[in-house]
Amino acid sequence: MRTTKNWIGLVGALLPALFCGGLLLYFNNVRGAFGGLIDNQLGPTMFGLGAFFVLFLVLFLVKLWRTAGGPPASTPSARADAAVDAARSDFDADAAFERYMARRAAAPPGERPLTFGRKQD
């Protein structure tokens, strides 16, 4: 399945480059057929098609490079594992709560810290 998807992606990336290249060849033949009479009108069109051809060709080559063995793409599970490892810490919530309760119980009643939503003893 993965190789089929790669081939379809490569063909899909190559089609716009082939289309622009074909139009360039067509307009070059049209220009030659008129003997240079319409060079001023076809010049900007051919320049734009050439720019798009180069752009699509570069995109195709990048896709080909990635498919053929470029840098390994990180899989979603590898990214999830990396995120979990980054989020892990040494914080122990139960121990923190126990320390808080021990300090609260040791403090005299007038100096106990106020807690949101609770009455002071």
Kindly state the percentage of the chain with pLDDT values over 70.
Answer: 83
Distances (CA, A) of 78 to 2, 3, 31, 36, 86: 18, 21, 55, 59, 12
| Number of DSSP helices (H) and strands (E) in the chain, helices first | 4, 0
Torsion of CA 53, 54, 57, 59, to 10 degrees: -110
Four-residue CA torsion sign, 109, 111, 117, 119: positive
Instruction: Decide: residue 20, CB within 10 A, 0-12 exposed, 13-18 middle, 19+ buried.
Output: buried
Which residues in the chain land under pLDDT 50?
A: none
DSSP 110: G
What is the helix (H) or strand (E) element at residue 58, kind and residue range? helix 39-69
Amino acid letter at 87? A
pLDDT given at position 48? 92
Amino acid letter at 63? K
pTM of the full structure? 0.52
Condensed to tens digits (0 to 9), the pLDDT of residues 35-52 reads 777 778 888 888 999 999
